Chains A and B, each alone.
Chain A
Amino acid sequence: MPKQDTFTPGEPPVLEADVFLKGLWRENPVFVSLLGMCPVLAVTNTVMNSLAMGLATTFVLFMSTSLISLLRSFIPKQVRIPVFIVIIATFVTIVEYSIQAISLELYENLGAFIALIVVNCLIMGRAEAFASKNPLPRAMLDALGMGAGFTFALFCLGAVREILGSGSFAGVDLFGPNFQPWAIMILPPGGFLVLGGWLLLFAWARERSDRKKAEAEAAAGD
């Protein structure tokens, strides 16, 4: 197999660790790329649901992009999308059975959104844009990074929504019986509000680090 990691001259080579880390922060699928918004808004009403959804998506992402990366020279270009969808749907169905076997209550809570992982554009996007063009180890790292970033983002939303909307964290009551839960936070509008808050925070942090970097460069140039 020809070496895939050769880059056009002049481009700095991307470190392997960066393939993993970019999904966590710089290219975070939720906070930066705004991918897969449907589960992000729908199932993040509790910490447990968020983590379960994040882990389920990470599993599907990891398994399907690995398989796609392995098969990438075998899959004809013209039918790559149907092949990707069949592979993704297979792993989603596996996750669906596994969650039912682990806990019916969890399956009830996540409901239709497990099946909807099939059309999560995060997975299709990584399969098409990365796994189908990269060797297996890089595709695996990328999937793990993106999955971790997605799970982290869902956890951020779920934690805020559960604390405000139910007064608990991962099912543990925080404020006692006198707390009046802010019910809108566990309803869909609460998802939008909290997502907006996190996006604002991330955009602000990114802008600040960019400005610092520019200032440092300007200072170095003097």
Chain B
Amino acid sequence: MTYATAPSPEGQPPEQQPPRPAAGNSAHMIGALGAVAALSGLLLVMVYQATLPIIEANREALLQEAIFDVLPGAESRAAFVIRNGAPPAELEEGQALGDADFYAGFDADGVFAGVALRASAQGYQDVIRALFGYDPNAQEIIGFRVMENRETPGLGDKIAWDPEFLANFDGLQARINPDTGELDPPIRGVQEGAKTQPHEVDGISGATISVDAVVTMLNRAVGERVPYILEHLDIIEGAR
């Protein structure tokens, strides 16, 4: 702690110590620490209680905006929870939007526009979390939005804002083989500008790891969720 005792550089007058309690008075030390800790606990609880509803409303608004962002044309939505071995259930009244497993979007005429799904994978710095839109009828990814990332600014974080990269998700083929129930062919990342197949993603030079993470998360999320969605598509489409 060199800074603690170093004198101010500009020759400030010596500051006098206020009278300190006698050394070795442990009851006083415990009392002071306890009192300060209690005070800080009280303050934190108050601030937490006051800000929690606002923070939750912010999260909800962000998610809502993202759902419509990845489902072009969607103007209303229904939220679903996946149930093991049973058809999906609509989110009950009072439950947070973030508790749902996927969302179905409908356009102004009530026509089904697709489903929005979550995906995540380890990126360069930390886990990247994203939301993507999937059209079960065309079996294509129709939108992609990064919700959380800590990728390198200017390089890896291009996955979140580079218009050329995001154009990949304007109809990216992600077909489920009806016989095996698996994604076939899987989505593949290629060099920047080398995309020739509808299931390929044009990469970003300098951001290979981040692009690979996006491809991994999409393959995983489509493989895990889409067969279930296809199986119960009539229920999902009939939600509105």
- Which chain B positions have C-beta within 8 A of A32? 9
Chain B residues near A103 (CB-CB < 8 A): 58
User: Contacts A90-B43, A133-B15, A133-B17 known; A71 to B153 CB distance under 8 Å?
Assistant: no
| Residues of chain A contacted by B14 (CB below 8 angstroms) | 7-8, 11
Interface residues of A in 116-143 (CB under 8 A from B): 121, 124-125, 128-130, 133-134
The reply to whether A183 and B62 form a contact with Cβ atoms under 8 Å apart is no
Q: How far does the alpha carbon of A11 sit from the alpha carbon of B37 in the complex, in Å?
A: 39
From A81, A93, A133, contact of B18 by CB (8 A): A133
Q: What CA separation (Å) do A201 and B35 show in the bound complex?
A: 47
Instruction: Please tell me if A13 contacts chain B, counting CB pairs below 8 Å.
Output: yes
Whether A128 contacts B15 by the Cβ 8 Å rule is no
**Residue of A13, A26, A181, A183 touching B13 (CB-CB under 8 A):** A13
Which of B6, B9, B12, B33 is within 8 Å of A82, CB to CB? B33
Given contacts A72-B18, A74-B32, is CB(A97)–CB(B153) below 8 Å? no
| Of the residues B6, B18, B150, B153, contact of A45 by C-beta under 8 Å | B153
Contact in complex: A101, B51 (CB < 8 Å) = yes
User: How big is chain B's contact interface, by range?
Assistant: 35 or more
User: Is A22 a contact partner of B10 (Cβ separation < 8 A)?
Assistant: yes
Interface residues on A, range: 35 or more
Instruction: Name the A residues within 8 Å of B55 (CB-CB).
Output: 97, 100-101, 104
A104–B58 touching, CB < 8 Å? yes
The chain A residue with its CB closest to the CB of B46 is A94
Does B154 lie within 8 Å of A186, measured CB to CB?
yes
Contact string, B36-73, partner A, CB cutoff 8 A, digits 1/0? 11001001100110010011001100100000000000
Cβ of B117 to closest chain A Cβ, rounded Å: 21
Closest Cβ neighbor of A135 among chain B residues: B18
Minimum CB distance partner of B19 in chain A = A73
| Stretch of B20-28, B79-87, B100-108 at the chain-chain interface | B20-28
List of A residues within 8 angstroms of B153 by Cβ: 45, 186-187
Which residues in A have their C-beta under 8 angstroms from that of B28?
Answer: 76
- Is the CB of B8 closer than 8 A to any CB of chain A? yes
- Assess the A97–B51 pair: CB atoms within 8 A: yes
The closest CB in chain B to the CB of A46 belongs to: B153
Is residue B191 contacting chain A, with contact meaning CB distance below 8 A? no
| Further contacts, 16 of them, CB under 8 A, given A8-B14, A12-B13, A183-B154 | A4-B18, A7-B14, A13-B13, A33-B9, A73-B20, A76-B32, A94-B47, A100-B55, A100-B58, A104-B55, A125-B4, A129-B3, A130-B15, A133-B16, A186-B153, A187-B153
| 8 residue pairs A–B, Cβ–Cβ below 8 Å | A4-B18, A7-B14, A12-B13, A33-B9, A77-B21, A86-B37, A97-B48, A125-B4
Residues of B within 8 A of A (CB): 1, 3-4, 6, 8-10, 12-21, 23, 25, 28-29, 32-33, 36-37, 40, 43-44, 47-48, 51, 54-55, 58-59, 62, 148, 150, 152-155
